[in-house]
Amino acid sequence: MMAAAALAAWTLALHAAEPSSQQTEQRCHDYTLRADKQIASCTTLIGLYGNAAGNRGLLALAFLARGSSHFRAGNRERALADYREAIRLDTVPIAGGEKDAALYNDRCWARAVAQLELDEALKDCNEALRLRADFVAALDSRAFLQLRRGRFRDALADYNAALKGNPTDPYSLFGRGVVKSRTGDAQGAKADMAAATAVQNGIAAEFLSFGITP
């Protein structure tokens, strides 16, 4: 039998080795990790969030991250299941009658990342901006959606508008860099992507998990 002091020390060491909920959340959204490790962290996080209504938005993001991890691991079926669950979670409050720009933006982003229901995604982003014309996050989401759809002029206009509101946003910077790369502005693309990486080191890996490269 283990002595009481030794048992206490062992228990403390065991708990110290376990990641905290904050660390688990960070790892779930860390696209520089191996796909299997990110999937494991997201799965743990989804369990921690539970089904509480107050966690719905965070839960949707966790499913979206796990779906992207499954996608880069080559498991399209599991990715689609997680993507659809993220979209369903984002739909619940809207279907319940809530009219909030952030809710429409979240669903627009989820649909754009998942490459599902892209026409409906555009309606979501437009509704978010109708409700709040200066909503930078919705401008970024719509720009990303237009990038997905190959509508580079529209994507560039939205990224420019988003960056006026938030000049250091890594998603807008990197997305604009991709648009510039695809439209022949190699120098501008390099500058934007370097600026994005300086703010968020893993941003290129995250876009890659979405299936997007310059």
Are the C-beta atoms of 114 and 64 separated by less than 8 Å? yes
pLDDT > 80? residue 65: yes
CA atoms of 129 and 38, how far apart (whole Å) = 32
Question: Using an 8 Å Cβ cutoff, are 138 and 128 in contact?
Answer: yes
Q: What average pLDDT does the segment 170-183 reach?
A: 98
pLDDT digits (tens, 9 = 90+) for 88-119: 999 999 999 999 999 999 999 999 999 999 99
Assess contact for 123 and 160: CB atoms under 8 A: no
What tokens does 192 get? 């934007």
Q: State yes or no: pLDDT of 16 exceeds 60.
A: no
Q: Considering Cα of 144, then 150, then 154, then 155, what sign does the dihedral take?
A: positive
- Residues 67, 73, 78, 80, CA torsion sign: positive
- Which CATH number is 21-94 given? 1.25.40
For the stretch 28-58, pLDDT in tens is: 999 999 999 999 999 999 999 987 778 899 9
CA separation for the pair 107, 118 (Å, rounded): 11
pTM: 0.88
Contact 190, 160 (CB under 8 A): no
Listed by start position, the domains of the chain span 21-94
What's the pLDDT band for 18 if we cut at 50, 70, 90? Answer: low
Which among 27, 83, 77, 26 has a CA at the least distance from the CA of 60? 83
